[in-house]
Amino acid sequence: MKKTATILILSCILFLLPGFNAHSADSSAAQTSSSDELDYMNDAEPQVIVADPLFRLNSAVFEFNDKLYFWVLKPIAQGYMAVVPTPVRRGVKNFLHNFGSPVRTVNCFLQGKMEAAASEMCRFVYNTTFGILGFLDPAKEFPHLNPHEEDFGQTLGLFGVGNGIYLVLPVIGPSTLRDSLGMVGDYFITPTAYIETNALAWALKAEEAVNDLSFRIGEYEDLKDAAIEPYLSFKDGYLQYRYKKINQ
C-alpha cells in the first residue's frame, strides 16, 4: 500500500516537471516554400501540447459528461431559469462569486500581483458590506476593482509547474493534473469548504453549478457543433484558455 502510494506520488511529480511538457512553435517552417504566401506556418504563440495517456478513460468521461449535460444538467438549469427570476439568479451568482474572493486574493498575492490582491480584498469588503453580503455587486462601478480570476492552478503554472497530463473530470470537464491539484489546493481556502453538514455543502455546490449554468445554456452546444472532433476541440480550447490566463 505504501509502495503504491509512493509510486503514485513520484509519477505525479514527474509529470508535473516543466521538462515533461512540450511547447512547440509550429516547427514546419522549414517546409514553407513560397515567400509570396502569408507565413501561415509561423505563429506568434507556441502550441501547447499536453500528453494524454489516459485518452481512453478521458474519452469515456467526456461522453458521460456530454450525456449528463443533455439529460440532467440542462433540463434542470432550464427549469431553474424558468422559475427563478434573473435578478435573483444574478444575486446568487454574485454572492457565490464573492465567496471565491479568498482564493483570488491569495493567488494574486502568491503570484506577486500585489495591486490585484489589494483590489480583490477591497472588492470583497465593499461588496460584502455595501452589497449586502455579496448579493449585489456595487463594486462593478469601479473598473479598477474588477475581479482577477486567479486560481492555484495558474499560480503553479506561473512558477513553472508543467500541465502534467490531460484529464477529463466527471461533471467538471477538461482539466490537467496541475489544474486539478490546484483545485484541491483552492478548496482549503474556500469558505464553503468549512460548512459543517455535508449535505448542506453539497447542496450549495449543486446550487452554484445550476445557477451558473442557467446563464450559459447553449454555450456547450455551440462549441460542440462548431467542432469536427469535439473531444480534441475542448482539449485544445481548454489548454489555450489556461495558457492565456497564466500569462496575463
Partner 1 sequence: MSTTRIRCYTLGIIMLLILNPILTVGISLAASPLEDLKIPIETVLSLLKDPVYKNPDQRQQQRDKILVITRKLFDFTEMSKRALARNWKSFSSLEQQQFADVFADHLSNSYMDKIQGEYKDETIIFLNQETVSDGKSLVKTKIQRQTKDIPVDYSMYSIDNQWRVYDVNIEGVSLIKNYRTQFDQILAKESPAQLIERLKKKVEIKIGN
Instruction: Quote the CA–CA distance of 11 and 9 in Å, as a whole number.
Output: 5
Gyration radius of the chain over CA positions: 21
Distances (CA, A) of 61 to 114, 171, 172, 201: 39, 9, 10, 24
Q: Is 47 in the site for partner 1 (CB under 8 A)?
A: yes
Amino acid at 168: V
Instruction: Quote the CA–CA distance of 67 and 50 in Å, as a whole number.
Output: 25
Q: Is 236 in the site for partner 1 (CB under 8 A)?
A: yes
Q: In this complex, which beta carbon is closest to partner 1, that of residue 6 or of residue 24?
A: 24
Strand partners, 24: 47
Least distance to partner 1 from the beta carbon of 116, Å? 17
Q: In this complex, which beta carbon is closest to partner 1, that of residue 12 or of residue 233?
A: 233
The residues in 7-46 that bind partner 1, with binding defined as CB under 8 A, are 26, 28, 31, 37-38, 40-41, 43-45
Q: Which of 62, 73, 90, 185 binds partner 1 (CB under 8 A)?
A: 90
Residue pair 138/98 in contact by the 8 Å Cβ criterion? no
Q: Is 93 in the site for partner 1 (CB under 8 A)?
A: yes
Q: Which three cell numbers stand for residue 159?
A: 512558477
Chain residues binding partner 1 by CB under 8 A are 26, 28, 31, 37-38, 40-41, 43-45, 47, 86, 90, 93, 215, 218, 222, 225-229, 232-233, 235-237, 240-241, 243-245
